[in-house]
Structure formats: structure tokens, C-alpha cells
């Protein structure tokens, strides 16, 4: 889809779009960018104010002169603007008809309605930001949670792209030395020394790549929303709890053991965090289960395996059972909350405590899904645990394509390392693997990019950004 007509062609047209979302609001912002931005805006506003100074103007129909709206005009001259081009911002009243009339007037004044992401694409093409920063902008706009916002800001500020670029430069440097034959200068120098040094260098580079992958991976997981699995024996009250926590009726609540046979996914918001609650099939010993229930239990285990936190639900006073215990302890670093439900029956007060589970101390909460007692503590525990889990690694907002590029680079570097360890001087092959790794890293920052890639990236943005 070659909708970015200006790329690679001589003439650059001037684009405009509403930067504020459709609907009603106090103010609507419309932006123009391009070589004709000043002239086009001037046809509505008359003389533009000095750079970066807000002034009130009438916004007039360029044909008839009718005053369409009255508002603020701002001029950001090239090259120190968001796009690197002349940018003019009109701030009018935030009504749908106002915005429509202004957009129509700008079109008649010679502008073209921007495609999704076209402002940011221009910023990239004009060297105002690298690709990872541009994608960070999209992530920032999509961020729902505090943790996702922080990860996106790190990418927008360039931390991700910079580290990737540094590693790419280090790879290029290492390759240049290899190709110049500096590692194996002549017959006198023992080849083993050169090879050992190469192997060491490759190990160090792989370590750096590993850290980048970990942070990008964490950022990607954040953008997907963290997953919380509700697990426990049948009738413990998992479905009721899910309903109480999400205040909806998505799960079937029934008193017959084994009713919840499939995994029900429900997204809940806890303090801005998107949580996916997995109401999983009850976990009874396999021998007691019917076939369909066994299938449910299998899916439950698979779902819980990938969850970022576990809520292990039991009836107050009941033992969780070995199956649930094992699941809870399968990943020791993952937060587990043992929920003791139905305290309305015993009259026990709600609250948090600590209990051993399979030899490991875990937080336990006394709650009632029916009365809602203790659920606030569950929400608070979830919020704290998930933020700690996501924030610990200082993640960078990243997309699937970044993770793929990093995985490819890792594979190429691994291959280089194997060749270097083979004890033969396979400089050409090592250099080739380094070049491949370097190229894949270049795709992240946009040092290496294609029209196709840019179209795919920017068409996923919203219009006006």
C-alpha cells in the first residue's frame, strides 16, 4: 500500500489532520506540516504569528471569508519542529462541525489530509527520531498503565534505539577488524590467541544483546497487558471471584464441580493495569475427572504456565492440593496469592497474612467473593506485585518485529560464536554472521529499512500523529 506518495519523489506535499480525537471537547487541535504549511494556514488565519508564539486569530473560509471559528495559531518553523518541516497548529473549539469545517477549508486551501502516522513518519524520514522512537510514540499513545507509559517513554527518549545502535556499531567494528585480518596478522602470531580474543569479544556482545532482548521482551509483555490466572479446585469460588473482581457476569457460576471446563478470558482494570483473569477448569486429581474435564485441566495448566501472577483460590480452611501447589511453585519468581474464600460462612475477618505453600512463604488473603470483603486487599496486592514484576527490568516499549529482529541477531551471533570456537580460522564466515546480526539490529532503528516496512509500521498509527 504505497499511500506515502511523497517518499522518494521530488515534491513533498503539505499534510493536515486533527491531532485531537473525534468527539466533543473544549479544544480541538489541527496540525499542518510541509513546505506549504505556512501559506495554507495563512489562507485561513491571515498573517501568522512569530515562531512558537500563540496568537488569537479568526479562522476564515479561504473562499468566501466567512469566520468558521476563532482560536489560537502556533508556528513551528523547520527544522526544529516535530516533523522537521514547517508545522502550523490551529487550536479551535472542540466540536465535530467546527473540526469538519476547518479540515475542509484546509483541503480547499491546498493541503492534503494526512495518512495514519504520516507526521511521525516524516519526523523519522527527516532524521528527527529513529524508528524505535517513532514506534515508542505509538506505544505511548496506546499506553493504559503506568508501567506501559514508563516503558514507552524510555523508547521515545531513545534509550532502546541508542543501545541497539551502540551494539550495531560494536558489531561493525568487530567485523571490520576481522576483515582487515587484524586478529590473525601473520603466521608468527599464534592463531589461538586471536581466536580466543574473538570468542571473548563475541561472548561480550552476546551478553549485551541478551540484556537488550530481556528489556524489549519485558516491554512487549507489558504492551500485551499482564495476565493473571485464577486457579484452584472446583467450587472454591474462582468464577464468583472473577465476577466480583471484574464486576461483570462473564464466567458461569455454578455449584456442580467441574463446570468451568474451558479457560475464560476476561480483561479487568486494576489501578490502570490491564489484567487478564483466566478462570480455569478446576483441578481435581486426573483419576476423578471425566475426559472433557481433563482437557479443561490441561488448558488450565497451559494458561497458568504463561501467566504473570497466580491467584490460587481455595475455600477457607481447605488445602490447595498437590496439583495447585505444584503449579503455584513452578516458577518461583512469579507472584502467588493464596486466596481463602467464603469467609462469610465462618465470620473470619478479611485481610492479608503469610502462609507456607509447598515450603515457600506466600501471601494469603481471607476474602468473600459474595460480600466483597477483602477484595480491595487483593486488588492492591495485584497492583503492587505486577508493577514490581514489570518495572524491575526497566523495560523498553517494543513490538513483535523488534523481538524478531533481536532473536535473528542472537541466532547470527550464536553462529559466529560457534564458528569462532571451532578452532579454525573461519574469518569470512564469522564476518558474514556479524554482518547479518548488524543488519537485523539496523532494522530496529531504521538504519536499514524498506518502503514496505515503513508502510507497515506507520499505517498502524492513528491519524494526526
Question: Binding residue per annotation — 279?
Answer: yes
Q: Residue 12 or residue 253: which is nearer to ligand GDP going by CB?
A: 253
Out of 4, 43, 342, 465, point to the residue binding ligand GDP (CB under 6 A). Answer: 342
Report CA 297 to chain centroid distance, whole Å: 30
Q: Give the 3-state secondary structure of residue 233.
A: coil
Evaluate whether 28 touches 98 at the Cβ level (below 8 Å): yes
**Residue at grid coordinates 486533527:** 18
Question: Binding residue per annotation — 155?
Answer: no
Q: Which stretch binds ligand GDP (CB under 6 A): 12-20, 234-242, 323-331, 346-354?
A: 234-242
Q: Residue 97 or residue 254: which is nearer to ligand GDP going by CB?
A: 254
- CA dist 377 and 353 (Å) reads 11
- CA dist 429 and 425 (Å) reads 9
Evaluate whether 394 touches 154 at the Cβ level (below 8 Å): yes
Report CA 130 to chain centroid distance, whole Å: 17
Q: Which residues within the stretch 246-305 sit at the binding site for ligand GDP (CB under 6 A)?
A: 253-255, 260, 282
Question: Binding residue per annotation — 239?
Answer: yes
**From the CB of 344, what's the least distance to ligand GDP, in Å?**
5
Q: Which stretch binds ligand GDP (CB under 6 A): 129-137, 230-238, 374-382, 397-405?
A: 230-238
Q: Is residue 238 part of the contact set for ligand GDP (CB under 6 A)?
A: yes
* Three cell numbers written together for 185: 596478522
Q: Is residue 368 part of the contact set for ligand GDP (CB under 6 A)?
A: yes
Peptide bond connecting 79 to the previous residue in cis, omega within 30 degrees of 0: yes
Question: Binding residue per annotation — 281?
Answer: yes
**From the CB of 339, what's the least distance to ligand GDP, in Å?**
10
Q: What angle do CA 309, 310, 316 make, to 5 degrees?
A: 145
Evaluate whether 141 touches 42 at the Cβ level (below 8 Å): no
Q: Which residues within the stretch 345-364 sit at the binding site for ligand GDP (CB under 6 A)?
A: 345
The set of residues, in sequence order, having a beta carbon less than 8 Å from that of 53 and lying 6+ positions away, is 74, 75
Question: Binding residue per annotation — 342?
Answer: no
* Closest-CA residue to 296 (of 287, 283, 308): 283
**From the CB of 436, what's the least distance to ligand GDP, in Å?**
50
**From the CB of 235, what's the least distance to ligand GDP, in Å?**
4
Size of the site for ligand GDP (CB under 6 A): 19
**From the CB of 405, what's the least distance to ligand GDP, in Å?**
42
- CA dist 16 and 266 (Å) reads 39
Q: Which stretch binds ligand GDP (CB under 6 A): 209-217, 235-243, 266-274, 414-422?
A: 235-243
Residues tagged in the binding site annotation for (6S)-5-formyl-5,6,7,8-tetrahydrofolate: 31, 89, 128, 465
Residues tagged in the binding site annotation for Mg(2+): 239, 260
Query: Which residues contact ligand GDP (rule: CB under 6 A)?
Result: 234-240, 253-255, 260, 282, 341-342, 344-345, 368-370
Amino acid at each position: 500500500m504505497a499511500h506515502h506518495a511523497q517518499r522518494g519523489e521530488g515534491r513533498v506535499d503539505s499534510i493536515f489532520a486533527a491531532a485531537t480525537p473525534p468527539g466533543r471537547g473544549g479544544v480541538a487541535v489541527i496540525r499542518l506540516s510541509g513546505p506549504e504549511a505556512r501559506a495554507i494556514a495563512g489562507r485561513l488565519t491571515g498573517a501568522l504569528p512569530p515562531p512558537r508564539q500563540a496568537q488569537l486569530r479568526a479562522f476564515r473560509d479561504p473562499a468566501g471569508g466567512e469566520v468558521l471559528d476563532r482560536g489560537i495559531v502556533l508556528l513551528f518553523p523547520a527544522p526544529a519542529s516535530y516533523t522537521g518541516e514547517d508545522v502550523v497548529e490551529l487550536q479551535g473549539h472542540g466540536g465535530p462541525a467546527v473540526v469538519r469545517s476547518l479540515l475542509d477549508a484546509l483541503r480547499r486551501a491546498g493541503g492534503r489530509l494526512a495518512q495514519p502516522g504520516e507526521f511521525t513518519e516524516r519526523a523519522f524520514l527527516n532524521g528527527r527520531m529513529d524508528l524505535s522512537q517513532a514506534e515508542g510514540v505509538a506505544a505511548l499513545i496506546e499506553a493504559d498503565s503506568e508501567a506501559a507509559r514508563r516503558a514507552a517513554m524510555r523508547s521515545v527518549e531513545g534509550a532502546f534505539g541508542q543501545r541497539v545502535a551502540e551494539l550495531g556499531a560494536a558489531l561493525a567494528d568487530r567485523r571490520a577488524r576481522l576483515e582487515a585480518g587484524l586478529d590473525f596478522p601473520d603466521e608468527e602470531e599464534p592463531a589461538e590467541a586471536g581466536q580466543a580474543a574473538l570468542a571473548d569479544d563475541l561472548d561480550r556482545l552476546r551478553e549485551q544483546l541478551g540484556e537488550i532482548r530481556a528489556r524489549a521482551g519485558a516491554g512487549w509483555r507489558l504492551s500485551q497487558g499482564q495476565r493473571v490466572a485464577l486457579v484452584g479446585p472446583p467450587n472454591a469460588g474462582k468464577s464468583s471471584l472473577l465476577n466480583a473482581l471484574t464486576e461483570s457476569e462473564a464466567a458461569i457460576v455454578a455449584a456442580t464441580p467441574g463446570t468451568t471446563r474451558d479457560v475464560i478470558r476476561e480483561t479487568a482494570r486494576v489501578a490502570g493495569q490491564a489484567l487478564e483473569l483466566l478462570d480455569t477448569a478446576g483441578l481435581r486429581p486426573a483419576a476423578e475427572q471425566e475426559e472433557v474435564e481433563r482437557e479443561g485441566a490441561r488448558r488450565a495448566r497451559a494458561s497458568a504456565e504463561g501467566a504473570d501472577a497466580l491467584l490460587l483460590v481455595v475455600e477457607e480452611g481447605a488445602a490447595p492440593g498437590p496439583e495447585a501447589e505444584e503449579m503455584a511453585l513452578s516458577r518461583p519468581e512469579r507472584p502467588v496469592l493464596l486466596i481463602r474464600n467464603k469467609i462469610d460462612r465462618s465470620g473470619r475477618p478479611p485481610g492479608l497474612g503469610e502462609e507456607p505453600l509447598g515450603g515457600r512463604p506466600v501471601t494469603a488473603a481471607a476474602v468473600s467473593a459474595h460480600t466483597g470483603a477483602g477484595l480491595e486487599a487483593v486488588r492492591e496486592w495485584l497492583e503492587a506485585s505486577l508493577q514490581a514484576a514489570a518495572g524491575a527490568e526497566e523495560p523498553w516499549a517494543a513490538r513483535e518485529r523488534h523481538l524478531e529482529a533481536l532473536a535473528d541477531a542472537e541466532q547470527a551471533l550464536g553462529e559466529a560464536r560457534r564458528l569462532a570456537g571451532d578452532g579454525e580460522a573461519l574469518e569470512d564466515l564469522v564476518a558474514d554472521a556479524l554482518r547479518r546480526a548488524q543488519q537485523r539490529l539496523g532494522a530496529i532503528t531504521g538504519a536499514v529499512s524498506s518502503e514496505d516496512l515503513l508502510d507497515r509500521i506507520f499505517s498502524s498509527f492513528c491519524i494526526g500523529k
